[in-house]
Amino acid sequence: MAGKQKRSSSEISLYSPLEELKGIGPKKAESLEKLGLFCFADALDLYPREYEDLRCKKQIADLEDGEKAVVTARVLLVRLGRGYGKKRTLHVLTEDNTGRMEVLFFAGGFLAKQFRQGDEFRFFGKVKVENGRVTMFHPSYVRSDGEQAEGIQPVYPLTRGVTQKDVRLCTSTALMHTDELPESLPEAIVKDAKLCSNAYALANIHYPENDDKYREARYRLVYEELFYLDAALAMSKTHGGRGSAGRSITGPYAQEFIKTLPYELTGAQKRVLSEVLSDMASGRAMNRLVQGDVGSGKTVIAAAAMLQSAKNGCQSAFMAPTDILAHQHFETLKKLFSGLGINVELLSGNMPAAERKRVLSGLADGSVDVAVGTHALISEGVKYRDLALVITDEQHRFGVNQRQNLSAKGVCPDVLVMTATPIPRTLAVVLYADLDVSVIDELPPGRIPIITKGYTEETRDKAYDLLVSEVGKGRQAYIVAPFIEDSEAIDGMSAEGLFAGFAKDHPDIRAELLHGRMSQQEKDSIMERFYSGQIQVLVSTVVIEVGIDVPDATVMLIENSERFGLAQMHQLRGRVGRGKHQSYCLIVTCDDSQTARERADIMCSTSDGFVIAEKDLEIRGPGEFFGFRQHGLPQLKMADPVKHMAVAQRAKEDVRKLLAQDPKLASAENAVFAKNLADKYMQAGRLTL
């Protein structure tokens, strides 16, 4: 930007670099880039995380406990509190004509020089009123003789080197130029759904004039996010997904295979297999999700589908999230297909060059019927003669784009995705709108239910006594912690600390530590030794949430359970109960709050993954429950598909009507929307539109 003339807000355009504006230099622009702001148009999409309602002006005597308010007061005394350096607390005693108020800044030592006795400031923050004493915590503030903002002010997420004033300058500048933006939704949709205009919504989400206008703006932006998402998923179905031309794979092979098994399928398995085989025979490309708890029998459904494909002269690819899980699936499938003339091969990233070359050659000439592996299956140079069936296990570990990369190795192959993570139906409506959903909601008979017990800090020793007792019987156990290492900043158990303590207290038990910072080779080696019984107790983080079947593992001990989601704990519980012995899930809760106790009670009272998932969703919301980015979908900034279910259903219906009239969005009136949709969802290979 050196040598270029700075401009005023009115002289720039939405797509001007930030440095062109007076007040933003190269260093500031570089810091703003960390927030995703490269030009002024980007600022329009950085929505406020909260607001300062500067309309609520009060005198100190009128303040109420828990409210946020604007108070103008004089400084009486400035005092540094406990701590050291910049981390010291700062106490500023202030007064107005009605009373006194203490202003408290945590880690605010560096602010001390900004407040002098007698100076008057306008403070905005949350107050606590207790026994007549008024305290305002970490407020925003400005000298009363300085520039005064009014109304409702946005509060944005920040990064180092950026202030609220900087971001507000960018957004207010961008809002001066929203007339340059075309309407982002089809005009007919805006009219039928009674939405405010794009410009109106952006103006009132950043700087709301009042509560009603804010609600109008928010509704419009929530609707728009869900409308774009539904349209992208619907288009993805049409272009290479469900409904696209496929092949008809038929015959009695899968059903004959099922008859050879030493057990009978459950009613749920039979229903889901029928749905899968019907899809494969339909002449349309299958795009189906199979949900089912750990142990519900998803793998045998996948095996039957792959056998059906192989007996029709076609190939299948089975993708697992880790090398060790891929190895286990490979061994399972070899046993299932023994004597049936199905050639199964493993393809992993660390196999010897000669072995890899042999497998690649078999895939290319068609002599390999089933390939099992990790994302090595979609790597460059892997070619299939006739890939007709693609299966991904624990599919949320891959996302939409990787699933589609694997599908691209064939010509409109059938796609089957499997997950043991129970997804609430309310959330599945959004996350899996491009898939038909099958649910295996029944466990095979004869499985011994896992006993789940809750413990507190005071009774923790009893949990460890049970674990040690089980190890003494020749069993194995997991101990899971929320953090890798101890931290002064966070109160919680660490895997390193628990491992050190357990090893010291039980030197006769072979224990090992596992966490996500280890190399994949280290993790695989440890899991292999645990699988083979060389390790008796594995102390780990949630890296073992998706793992391997260890039949002798009978204890899952979860420390600091309040720091895990219910669905996550249910997944961890699924790591035990794989063998013939009674298994236990021991939940240690260190938080004595009612919410923590309720969560522990839910885990102890039900083993139904879908009930647990719904409860988890109620407590934590969809963003925490299941990150959208894992799916290759852009993060929803405004919309909550559960809280806004009515809006989601309206948007979905409107998308259906729009695509019924204009399936390819080829009409002139839909041109802007079609371009935006492609730009938004095709970047980084998110979806194929």
- pLDDT tens for each residue of 321-330: 878 788 889 9
* Within-domain flag for 551: yes
What amino acid is encoded at 195 in this protein?
L
**Domain co-membership, 433 together with 498:** no
Q: Which pLDDT tens digit goes with each residue over 485-503? A: 875 545 678 899 999 999 9
Q: CA 642, CA 502: separation in Å to the nearest integer?
A: 42
Give the domain-ending residue among 384, 410, 440: 440
CATH code (residue 541):
3.40.50.300
**Domain co-membership, 403 together with 475:** no
Report pLDDT for 652: 87
Domain count, the chain: 4
**Domain co-membership, 399 together with 309:** yes
* Within-domain flag for 122: yes
DSSP letters spanning 312-333: TT-EEEEE-SSHHHHHHHHHHH
What average pLDDT score do residues 120-148 get? 89
Instruction: Count how many residues are written for the chain.
Output: 689
Report pLDDT for 462: 96
CATH code (residue 143):
2.40.50.140
**Domain co-membership, 381 together with 323:** yes
* Within-domain flag for 414: yes
Q: Please determine, for residue 539, whether its predicted confidence score (pLDDT) is greater than 90.
A: yes
**Domain co-membership, 432 together with 472:** no
Q: Please determine, for residue 688, whether its predicted confidence score (pLDDT) is greater than 80.
A: no
Give the domain-ending residue among 582, 608, 625: 625
**Domain co-membership, 429 together with 547:** no
**Domain co-membership, 326 together with 351:** yes
The 3-class SS string of 616-666 reads HHHHHHHHHHCCHHHHCCCCCCCCCCCCCHHHHHHHHHHHHHHHHHCCCCC
Q: Please determine, for residue 212, whether its predicted confidence score (pLDDT) is greater than 90.
A: yes
What is the rounded average pLDDT for all residues in the chain? Answer: 85
Report pLDDT for 78: 93
Report pLDDT for 23: 82
Mean pLDDT is highest, among 448-452, 570-574, 592-596, for: 448-452
Q: Please determine, for residue 451, whether its predicted confidence score (pLDDT) is greater than 90.
A: yes
Residues of the chain with pLDDT > 70, as a percent, come to 87
Edge-to-edge, what's the strand order for the sheet holding 344-347? 344-347, 370-373, 315-319, 387-393, 414-419, 287-292, 436-440
What amino acid is encoded at 187 in this protein?
E
* Within-domain flag for 40: no
Q: Which pLDDT tens digit goes with each residue over 135-185? A: 999 898 888 887 777 888 898 888 888 888 899 999 999 999 988 888 999
pLDDT band at 684 (very low <50, low <70, confident <90, very high): very low
Report pLDDT for 521: 80
**Domain co-membership, 456 together with 433:** no
What average pLDDT score do residues 551-556 get? 95
Q: CA 142, CA 115: separation in Å to the nearest integer?
A: 11
Give the contacts of 260 (CB within 8 A, at least 6 positions apart).
Answer: none
**Domain co-membership, 511 together with 584:** yes
* Within-domain flag for 658: no
Structural domain boundaries enclosing 384: 253-440
**Domain co-membership, 367 together with 265:** yes
**Domain co-membership, 293 together with 324:** yes
Q: CA 583, CA 550: separation in Å to the nearest integer?
A: 12
pLDDT band at 237 (very low <50, low <70, confident <90, very high): low
Q: Which pLDDT tens digit goes with each residue over 398-421? A: 455 555 666 778 788 898 988 877
Contact predicate 605/654, CB 8 Å = no
**Domain co-membership, 376 together with 524:** no
* Within-domain flag for 217: yes
Least Cα distance to 575 among 472, 477, 433, 683 occurs for 477
* Within-domain flag for 245: no
pLDDT band at 535 (very low <50, low <70, confident <90, very high): very high
Report pLDDT for 635: 62
Q: Which pLDDT tens digit goes with each residue over 328-382? A: 899 999 999 999 999 999 998 778 999 999 999 999 999 999 999 988 888 888 9
* Within-domain flag for 366: yes
Residues of the chain with pLDDT > 90, as a percent, come to 45
